[in-house]
Structure 1
Amino acid sequence: MRQLVVRNCSVLVVPQVGECRVDEAQDIHIQDGAIIRIAETEPAYTEVEVLDATGLLAVPGLTNSHTHSPMVMMRGAAEDVSIDDWFNRKIWPMEVNLTPERVKVGARLACAEMLLGGVTTFVDHYFHADQIAAAALESGIRADLAPTFFSSTGTEGREAAFEAAREIRALGQSSGRITASLGPHAPYTVSDEDLRRTAEVARTEGFRVHLHAAETDDQTHSSIDQHGVTPIEVLARTGVLEAGALIAHGCGIRDADLALLQPYRDRTAIACCPKVYLKLAMGSTTPIKALQENGIPIGIGTDGAAVHNTLDVWESLRLVALTQKQREQNAEWMTISDTLRLATRGGATAAGLANLTGALEPGRRADIALVDLKAPHHQPVHDPRANLVYSTRASDVVHVLVDGEVVVRDRTLTKVDLTGIIEDARSLAHTLVDLSANATIQTYAP
């Protein structure tokens, strides 16, 4: 039996409803990767590995509920453009240059960045997902990976993406940290026929579906104008909602869509990535209040770093709180406790891990971030919960555990060489952002 005690830390307690709290001077007892007990600290331990966490605050490891991890290689290369130009003049032409090697190098950098920032799980949607799986396994992070496809790649491309998901799921069974979803891109790039086929495979083989839908109000208007239905209606009539889905963004979800989503609230969630909506001037943000009133789970994500610039979920959760207050014009809405719950329990639910991660409780996997609140930007600390939402930076994370394994110790990755990862990324990044091919993988015209 592997045993570890995280000793003498404060612990963020995140109940399913109500106020979060911080319990002081606690020891977290871990056995075989699971939390078995949390109790007041004891003076000493013998014959047990101890991680001294004196002065640190233990929080459930964060989940990045929607991202495209290898896009860190395009960080800063598509700035100050409209959403149409971001896709058509920058990103989709750059993605002509994708290769398995370049994807793996980017994924290794992304996994390193997320772990160092206290992210213990990420939910990914990208190409060459087998390479992302390899990077995740190497670093020790937990991941759900959806191999992406467009209908423009034909039946062969669709079925290849399904087969990649099957292979990733088989790979992950040995580690317990890697799962797979099916990854059609979006209703405006994937035909109803392909969405129906996706839903059929998902139901038959036990996958979830991870895709973009109703990303903006403009997309919803366009769908109604062209097809007479909203993107959420498309997902309903093709069986995607019934199969179970993680829907990225949903900023264009309408009130009438809520009745379609509500029956599938046990298997469908929405990922909110607010920095992207601000940066691309998308006009709105995810209607979290209305979704929650209908019982639809919400997770917090970063989207890809080609638009978000970082994979910092602390930044994202802070922007969720701020943009939701602004959206509802209510300073009392999206409280500190509710924001922390979205980033922890909400993220775990969005990742399909509702009963495994997302809270520090006996029986759950020991995915833990230990945060230092002693830096000047935290002082004085009147309410550590407020510090977590409004002051914490990724660099405040000191130690990180995934499945009870210490994967970051004293702000240093334990399983991979960060220097080598950065050198590899620097050496290859220019090959990805090269636009000289004058080609594109897709056209953005929802």
Structure 2
Amino acid sequence: MARVLIRNVSVLVVPESGEGRVDDAQDIQIEDDRITGIAPTTEQRRDGSGEVVDGTGLLAVPGLINSHTHSPMVMMRGAAEDLGIDDWFNRRIWPMEVNLTPERVRVGARLACAEMLLGGVTTFVDHYFHAEEIAAAAIESGIRADLAPTFFSSAGPQAIEAAIDTARQLSGLHPRITASLGPHATYTVSDDDLRRTAEVARAEGFRIHLHAAETDDQTQASLDKLGVTPVEVLERTGVLDAGALIAHGCGIRESDLPILEQYADRTAIASCPKVYLKLAMGPVTPIKALRTIGVPVGIGTDGAAVHNTLDVWEAIRLTALTQKQREHDAEWMPLSETLRLATRASATAAGQSTQLGALEPGRQADIALIDLSAPHNQPLHDPRAALVYSARDSDVHTVLVAGQVVVRNRELLTMDLPELLAEARSLAHTLVDLSKGGAVQHYAP
């Protein structure tokens, strides 16, 4: 049995409800992949067996969860700027994705996994093509991942079945890899294909991860064309009944709330606020209304082709700020609620509500140790406030996933960082080349 002791560390405690706190001078005991105990530091606790990680001056938090992203899109970082959502898709992203190959996806996924681990992200929930290559990168890096192989109806029945088969293959591939079904969106996948997806999900125990009601304009377009909102599409096709992670949900209408409430035990929303600001998408995810009806909301970055980074700390901060602005209420989205979204609720969005999202005995030992000693965090009146409003990915000191140290003293241990950076630089130009013409899809919701 492998043992790790994180000694003399402060611990972030985020209860299921109420105020969070920080407990100082704690020892976290780990056996194999699980936390087995958390207790005040004593000399007697150190028995000399296993690895000891010195937590002095550090704050242990549950490993961050990126609730919705497209990890290989780091290869498009900075290549689609200052565009509205229509042109972003139609002039840049979907024409670039004509160039996707398994190798380019693998290289991008390796870079993304490195970036996330160094920033304290221990789990990411992904939605992209060539998901088997993303799985290989995740396994190599030591990160945890839920992977949804993406498909459009325009690709045809064979491509859809191939994506579903990929999810089947991934589901038993590795203890740190889980799989979801990945129809792209309600406006790019037909009702018949959504019904087929829901049938497979129910029969085989998959969740469904897709985009829906991304903007209010999308919702209005659905009403104009179909007479129903995207959420109503998800209900009538059985997607909500099967269980779904909905990316964005900024266009959720008040009339959708009673529908979502019926499925609150198996539905979650992933909110990625930087994207909504950058693409001028209009209203942000209605988190207060969703929380009122019991629908959990996780925090994500979306892909780096629009977010530019996979920095979940930035996404946490922007979630709090945009929600205060949305509700015109400075007292809404207080520190403890924001941290609960970043931990427990994001674990639910990842399908891991009982395994991740809290530092408690019995849960997976996915832990980030944060150094809040830098000038931008000092003086430290309230470490919770520092985590929400000041912390940066560069403050991450040590990271464990499933009890294994994967980042130590800000150094990635599982992959050769200079090598993977060089590989990404050498291939990036081939992915953003628009000379081939064409596109994988046309954005016209």
Which bin holds the TM-score, normalised by the shorter protein? over 0.9
Distance, in Å, in 1 between the alignment partners of 2:315 and 2:384 is 16
In 2, the alpha carbon distance for the partners of 1:31 and 1:105 equals 33
Whether 2:365 is the aligned partner of 1:366: answer yes
Provide the C-alpha distance between the structure 1 equivalents of 2:422 and 2:249, rounded to a whole number of angstroms: 37
Of the three residues 65, 68, 82, the one matched with 1:66 is 68
The percentage of aligned residue pairs carrying the same residue is 73
* Alignment RMSD (CA, Å): 0.6
4+ aligned runs moved over 6 Å, structure 1: none
- Return the alpha-carbon distance in structure 2 between the equivalents of residues 102 and 113 of structure 1: 17
Report how far residue 48 of structure 1 moved.
Answer: 2.7
After superposing the two structures, state which structure 1 stretch, 209-218 or 29-38, moved more. Answer: 29-38
Mapped to 1, the partners of 2:34 and 2:342 lie a distance apart of 20
The CA deviation at 1:415 is: 1.1
Q: Is 1:134 aligned to residue 133 of structure 2?
A: no
> What secondary structure, in the 3-state scheme, does the structure 1 residue paired with 2:66 have?
strand
The equivalent position to 2:54 in structure 1, one of 46, 52, 59, is 52
Write the mapping of 1:199-210 to structure 2, written as runs, cut at 5 A. 199-210=198-209
Secondary structure of the residue aligned to 1:27 is: strand
Question: What are the within-5 Å matches in structure 2 for residues 344-383 of structure 1?
Answer: 344-383=343-382
Q: Residue in 2 aligned with 1:34?
A: 34
Aligned partner of residue 234 in structure 1, secondary structure: helix
Paired residue for 1:219? 218
Match of 2:338 in 1: 339
> Counterparts in 2 of 1:88-107, with a 5 A limit?
88-107=90-109
Residues in 2 aligned to 1:406 and 1:181: alpha-carbon distance in whole angstroms? 27
SS for the counterpart of 2:75 is helix
1:32 CA displacement: 1.4
Counterpart in 1 of 2:442? Answer: 443
Check whether the contact 2:369–2:399 (CA below 8 A) recurs between aligned residues: yes
Which amino acid letter does the alignment assign opposite residue 132 of structure 2? D
Which aligned pairs between 1:21-420 and structure 2 lie closer than 5 A? 21-43=21-43, 44-172=46-174, 176-420=175-419
Unaligned runs of 5+ in 1: none
Q: State the shift of 1:285 in Å.
A: 0.3
What's the TM-score once normalised by structure 1's chain length? 0.99
- 2:20 matched residue in structure 1: 20
Structure 1 position 45, deviation (Å): 3.4
Indicate the SS of the match to 1:17.
coil
Q: Once the 2 structures are TM-superposed, how far is the Cα of residue 42 of structure 1 from its aligned partner?
A: 2.1
CA displacement at 1:438 relative to structure 2: 1.2
Alignment coverage as a number of residue pairs? 443
Q: Deviations over 1:241-290 (max 9, x none)?
A: 00000000000001110111111111110000000000000011000000
Q: 1:115 is matched by which residue type in structure 2?
A: L
Tell me the TM-score normalized by structure 2: 0.99
Counterpart of 2:17, as a letter, is V
Amino acid of the residue matched to residue 367 of structure 2?
I
Query: What letter is aligned with 1:37?
Result: G
Give the secondary-structure state (helix, strand or coil) at the position aligned to 2:156: helix
Conserved in 1, the CA contact under 8 Å of 2:3 and 2:49?
A: no
Query: Distance in 2 between the 1:414 and 1:45 partners?
Result: 26
Per the alignment, in what secondary structure is the counterpart of residue 324 of structure 1? helix
For residues 369-427 of structure 1, give each alpha carbon's deviation from its aligned partner in whole angstroms, at most 9, with x where no partner exists: 00000000011000000000000000000000001100111111111111111000000
Partner Cα separation in structure 2 for residue 303 and residue 205 of structure 1 = 27
Distance (Å, rounded) in 1 between the aligned partners of 2:18 and 2:429: 48
Partner residue, 2:11: 11
CA distance in 2, matches of 1:410, 1:321: 29
**Which of 191-200 and 47-56 deviates more?**
47-56
